[in-house]
């Protein structure tokens, strides 16, 4: 199973997050694509939401929507409740492990499932289970949206990691020291295979910077 974070690790990651501003654009791209396809969103969830940054983008983009915040960390919930204080009547809260989505009390009539910078901790097998679980939460025509890092192979991966450090220096070194990985992230091919096995085959990578991708997958309408 993916390694669980301690509350101290969650706090350290939040304080050392060097990518928050860089990822503002793909978050908005995701919302714009869903808007162009569906026009409106009624209900959605952000899994492993952390401080609620991705959740907030969708709440702003779809003013009539209701969002569900999910994370395993009470520390992150405390931060998110402050960040999302202006949306308190449009957000509900679930604390739980993203490895056990199927066991959580999540509605199964969602228009979108968001997640970001979390599934890279999964093995290929765990990723398949996760995508299958979240696909069951979606209405027909709903979206799975994953903004995360993917392993690009032994040739490209170290080069792109080194290049990103040159463009985003400083706090990133501390972030990586606090945020350890015990194995390589799943590759894009593993994401595509896992989504296909869940029945979601309309997939595109709508954005990429270095080894971070915005994966957009639409559940069939029927």
**Hey, what are 159's tokens?**
């080069």
**Tell me: the pLDDT tens digits for 141-189?**
999 999 999 999 989 999 998 998 888 776 454 445 455 556 688 999 9
Q: From 3.40.50.720, 3.40.50.150, 3.40.50.1820, 3.20.20.70, which CATH number describes the 7-218 domain?
A: 3.40.50.150
Tell if the pTM clears 0.85, that is, is over it. Answer: yes
pLDDT-based confidence at residue 6 (cuts at 50, 70, 90):
low
**Tell me: the pLDDT tens digits for 124-133?**
999 999 999 9
Question: Could you tell me how far CA 218 lies from the centroid of its own chain?
Answer: 15
Q: What is the domain partition of the chain in residue ranges?
A: 7-218
Token match 């409106």: residue? Answer: 40
Give the phi and the psi of residue 140 in degrees, each rounded to 5: -55, 135
**Tell me: the pLDDT tens digits for 49-96?**
999 999 999 999 999 999 999 999 998 999 999 999 999 999 999 999
pLDDT of residue 182: 60
pLDDT of residue 13: 47
Question: Any bridge partners for residue 202, and if so which?
Answer: 218
pLDDT of residue 165: 87
């Amino acid at each position: 199973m993916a390694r669980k974070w301690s509350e101290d690790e969650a706090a350290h990651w939040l304080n050392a997050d060097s990518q928050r501003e860089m990822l503002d654009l793909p978050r908005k791209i995701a919302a714009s694509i869903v808007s162009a396809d569906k026009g409106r969103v009624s209900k959605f969830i952000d899994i492993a939401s952390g401080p609620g940054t991705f959740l907030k983008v969708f709440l702003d983009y779809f003013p009539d929507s209701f969002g569900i915040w999910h994370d395993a960390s009470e520390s992150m919930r405390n931060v998110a409740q402050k960040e999302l204080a202006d949306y308190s009547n449009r957000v509900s809260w679930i604390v739980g492990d993203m490895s056990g989505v199927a066991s959580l009390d999540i509605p199964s009539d969602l228009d979108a499932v968001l997640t970001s910078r979390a599934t890279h901790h999964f093995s290929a097998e765990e990723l398949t289970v996760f995508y299958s679980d979240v696909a069951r939460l979606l209405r027909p025509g709903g979206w799975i949206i994953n903004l995360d890092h993917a392993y690009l192979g032994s040739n490209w991966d170290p080069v792109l990691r080194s290049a990103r450090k040159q463009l985003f220096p400083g706090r990133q070194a501390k972030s990586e020291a606090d945020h350890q990985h015990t194995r390589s992230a799943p590759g894009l091919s593993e994401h595509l295979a896992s989504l296909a096995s869940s029945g979601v085959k309309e997939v595109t990578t709508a954005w990429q910077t270095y080894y971070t991708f915005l994966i957009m997958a639409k559940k069939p309408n029927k």
